[in-house]
């Protein structure tokens, strides 16, 4: 079993990642706040991920806060060769665990320095600008915010830049300032509003990293998914991950877990190739969801308080 079975992406000079990654968010306590119940197990999860070929770890200093970064630092130790760390800035945590968007240029720079400190790194491979509208993107200008990170890239504290919760318009705006190697948006079998952006990222060799690939706080539930999983002799979660990996050539998945057994189940999805008839059935899930959403709900740009990626 190896994460490398899903293939790899060369996104820029010196930046190649296996498409099966790992998201560290669940290493923190409940609601991504405070320490984990079992820190030793959390450390084992990260180490096992790397042993199984994961070389793309997604984290952030606002997970915990500081918790997941410190666990990643402890788990990797001196074994950072070939492992690419992706982190995000754009939010802070309140004392009650609340999520507080903070995208002022000065704060963004402070957040990068905090990530460097808690990860124990001199330079971060990829930093995402996390925008606040994760459940429905906007076209609000982002030049000032993205420009602040581009300045740190020029200073050598960041190697590459990404966007999280971004629209196609914002991607174009950011590209005028500095190269964008990755986009991280909400996308999975039942949340496919970003189909066009997924396809654009594939054309432009930009990684599209789906957060909440298994549904996040509301796990994906579908009779069709269950039937396909039974037919291909895999779990529904593995099928959902395999569908994402086959969705486009630059799709990256970063499923998170705090258990080694669950981690290994996720990584096994890297070796699962879905037949064409299964893909067609699974595509229909998203088509039905989109039609139902367009019929019953107006578009929204409000930020969800529970969206934590």
Can you give the residue range of the structural domain that contains 186? 3-296
What is the spatial distance between Cα 83 and Cα 228, in angstroms, rounded to a whole number? 33
pLDDT at residue number 58: 98
Q: In this structure, is residue 307 part of a structural domain?
A: no
Q: In this structure, is residue 301 part of a structural domain?
A: no
pLDDT band for 303, please (50, 70, 90 cuts): very low
Tell me, yes or no, if 63 is annotated catalytic. Answer: yes
Q: In this structure, is residue 303 part of a structural domain?
A: no
Q: Is the dihedral of CA 111, 13, 4, 234 positive or negative?
A: positive
pLDDT at residue number 289: 52
Q: 22, 63, 128, 187: which one is catalytic?
A: 63
Collect all residues with Cβ–Cβ distance below 8 Å to 266 and sequence separation of at least 6: 20, 237, 238, 241, 255, 257
- pLDDT > 70? residue 271: yes
Query: What would the pLDDT profile of 200-255 be if each residue is shown by its tens digit?
Result: 999 999 999 998 898 877 778 889 999 999 999 999 999 999 999 999 999 999 99
Domain count, the chain: 1
Structure tokens at 252: 């990256």
Q: In this structure, is residue 306 part of a structural domain?
A: no
Q: In this structure, is residue 309 part of a structural domain?
A: no
- pLDDT > 50? residue 294: no
Give the mean model confidence (pLDDT) for residues 265-288: 92
Q: In this structure, is residue 111 part of a structural domain?
A: yes
In this prediction the pTM is 0.91
Q: In this structure, is residue 226 part of a structural domain?
A: yes
Q: In this structure, is residue 265 part of a structural domain?
A: yes
pLDDT at residue number 231: 97
What is the spatial distance between Cα 120 and Cα 124, in angstroms, rounded to a whole number? 10
pLDDT at residue number 220: 85
The CATH number that applies at residue 137 is 3.20.20.100
């Amino acid at each position: 079993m190896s994460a490398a079975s899903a293939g790899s992406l060369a996104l820029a000079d010196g930046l190649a990642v296996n498409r099966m990654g790992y998201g560290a968010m669940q290493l923190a306590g409940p609601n991504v706040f405070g320490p984990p119940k079992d820190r030793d197990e959390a450390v084992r999860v990260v180490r096992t991920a790397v042993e199984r070929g994961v070389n793309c770890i997604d984290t952030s200093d606002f997970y915990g806060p500081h918790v997941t970064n410190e666990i990643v630092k402890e788990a990797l130790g001196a074994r950072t060769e070939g492992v690419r760390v992706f982190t995000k800035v754009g939010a802070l945590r309140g004392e009650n665990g609340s999520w507080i968007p903070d995208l002022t240029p000065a704060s963004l720079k402070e957040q990068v320095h905090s990530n460097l400190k808690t990860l124990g790194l001199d330079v971060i491979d990829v930093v995402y600008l996390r925008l606040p509208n994760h459940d429905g993107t906007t076209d609000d200008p982002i030049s000032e915010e993205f420009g602040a990170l581009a300045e740190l890239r020029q200073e050598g504290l960041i190697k590459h830049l990404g966007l999280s919760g971004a629209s196609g318009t914002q991607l174009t705006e950011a590209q005028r300032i500095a190269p964008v190697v990755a986009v991280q948006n909400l996308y999975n079998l039942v949340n496919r509003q970003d189909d066009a952006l997924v396809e654009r990222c594939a054309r432009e060799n930009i990684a599209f990293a789906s957060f909440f690939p298994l549904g996040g706080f509301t796990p994906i539930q579908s009779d069709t998914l269950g039937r396909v999983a039974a037919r291909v002799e895999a779990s529904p979660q593995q099928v959902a991950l395999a569908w994402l990996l086959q969705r486009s050539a630059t799709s990256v998945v970063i499923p998170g877990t705090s258990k080694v057994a669950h981690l290994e189940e996720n990584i096994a999805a890297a070796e699962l190739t879905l037949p064409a008839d299964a893909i067609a059935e699974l595509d229909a899930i998203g088509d039905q969801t989109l039609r139902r959403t367009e019929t019953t709900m107006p578009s929204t740009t409000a930020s969800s308080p529970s969206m934590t990626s």
